């Protein structure tokens, strides 16, 4: 979870500048400056230096903040594939997908061609995320997680393959979350212990309140005439009743049971809902283009059909 959170903050930090770069690159409503007036050598230096500073600084911070207090060991791996019903793995894929997208935009702004910018963008993203996995692999507390690494690779590959083959993103990964309240009070306290009590903590850390979406653009994939170019169909995945990584059971340092709600069945949830690809909405406003690009990582609230415990349930509005 800690790696996913740090990666999210890095993604947000890069997004602010990358969307400004994107406004220059994709402004089809006004003439671009002649290539001869743009100093691409300087831009390449700026892109490389900026990424090195952000990623390198965060890597050092993470090493000092998380790993320094634990014994170092020889490189080793462990299998956490069953943890949190794989919600954390999908979080890795989401982060890798969007950090690859942002990095690619930066490299394209720096003057790289389409293929070069995609290779460098996804390569930079994967190098950073796998370097954090390496720190895990050298820590006695954790270990290199092959499932995490596979999720990182999937997210980056989902972006890169579409960018190289289709020159667009017909399928994107999106995220939604809300602040969930638990009853009785003992469950709320357990949630506070695990996920924190503030709104930002709950939105980013409470897997029971999160949904990840595979959002598919209909006009570009189905070829049906008359469909709005921004209309998507999203397939979502979530989980509920999780109050521990593997089971709803917790012990204190002396081995005494301090929380036991194994009576609550941990369950997977599947969703189907319309969505909007904000990046396909045409506008001349640079502010709106930037806002749409940033917000496009999130699923738009919409009517939703849910399948869980073998039963269907409808929601007028779900996020």
Q: For residue 125, how many C-alpha atoms fall within 13 Å in the half-sphere facing its CB?
A: 38
Contact call for residues 239 and 84 (beta carbons, < 8 A) = yes
Segment 189-241, tens digit of pLDDT: 999 999 999 998 899 899 999 999 999 999 999 888 889 999 999 999 999 99
pLDDT in tens, 42-68: 888 988 888 888 888 888 887 777 787
DSSP state of 242: -
Q: Given pLDDT bands bounded at 50, 70 and 90, which one contains residue 119? A: very high
State what percent of residues in the chain have pLDDT above 90: 67
| pLDDT at residue number 13 | 54
Tens-place pLDDT, residues 65-97: 778 778 989 999 999 999 999 999 999 999 999
pLDDT score recorded for residue 27: 43
C-alpha 163/C-alpha 155 separation (Å) is 13
The pLDDT value recorded for residue 70 is: 84
Decide if 268 contacts 239 (C-beta within 8 A): yes
pLDDT at 252: 92
Q: What is the Cα–Cα distance from 126 to 100, expressed in whole angstroms?
A: 8
The per-residue pLDDT for 211 is 98
- Span 147-177, pLDDT tens digits: 999 999 999 999 999 999 999 999 999 999 9
Reported as a pLDDT band with limits 50, 70 and 90, residue 26 is: very low
Residue 19 has pLDDT above 60, yes or no: no
The runs of H, that is alpha helices, within 166-296 are 185-195, 199-205, 218-222, 286-295
Q: Distances in Å between the alpha carbon of 132 and those of 6, 56, 95, 155, 159?
A: 10, 11, 13, 16, 21
Quickly state the pLDDT bin for 23 (edges 50, 70, 90): very low
The pTM of this model reads 0.89
pLDDT at 2: 54
């Amino acid at each position: 979870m800690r790696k996913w959170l740090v990666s999210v903050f890095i993604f947000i930090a890069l997004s602010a500048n990358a969307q400004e770069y994107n406004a220059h690159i994709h402004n089809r409503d006004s003439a671009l400056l002649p290539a001869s007036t743009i100093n691409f050598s300087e831009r390449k230096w700026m892109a490389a230096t900026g990424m090195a500073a952000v990623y390198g600084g965060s890597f050092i911070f993470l090493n000092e903040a998380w790993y320094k207090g634990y014994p170092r060991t020889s490189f080793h791996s462990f299998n956490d594939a069953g943890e949190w019903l794989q919600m954390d793995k999908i979080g890795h894929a989401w982060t890798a997908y969007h950090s690859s997208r942002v990095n690619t935009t930066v490299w394209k702004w720096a003057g790289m061609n389409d293929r070069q910018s995609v290779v460098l963008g996804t390569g930079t993203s994967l190098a950073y995320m796998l370097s954090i996995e390496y720190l895990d692999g050298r820590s006695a507390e954790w270990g290199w997680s092959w499932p995490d690494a596979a999720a990182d690779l999937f997210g980056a590959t989902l972006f890169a393959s579409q960018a190289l083959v289709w020159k667009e993103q017909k399928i994107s990964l999106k995220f939604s979350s809300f602040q969930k309240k638990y009853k009785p009070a003992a469950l709320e306290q357990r949630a506070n212990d695990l996920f924190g009590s503030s709104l930002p903590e709950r939105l980013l850390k409470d897997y029971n309140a999160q949904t990840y979406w595979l959002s598919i653009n209909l006009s570009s994939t189905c070829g049906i005439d008359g469909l709005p170019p921004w209309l998507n169909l999203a397939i979502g995945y979530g989980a509920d009743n999780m109050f521990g990584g593997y089971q709803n059971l917790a012990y204190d340092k002396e081995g005494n049971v301090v929380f036991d709600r194994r009576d609550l069945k941990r369950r997977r949830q599947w969703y189907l809902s319309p969505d909007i690809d904000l990046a396909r909405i045409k506008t001349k406003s640079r502010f709106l283009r930037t806002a749409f690009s940033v917000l496009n990582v999130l699923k738009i609230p919409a009517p939703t059909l849910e399948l869980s415990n073998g039963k269907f349930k409808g929601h007028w509005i779900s996020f």
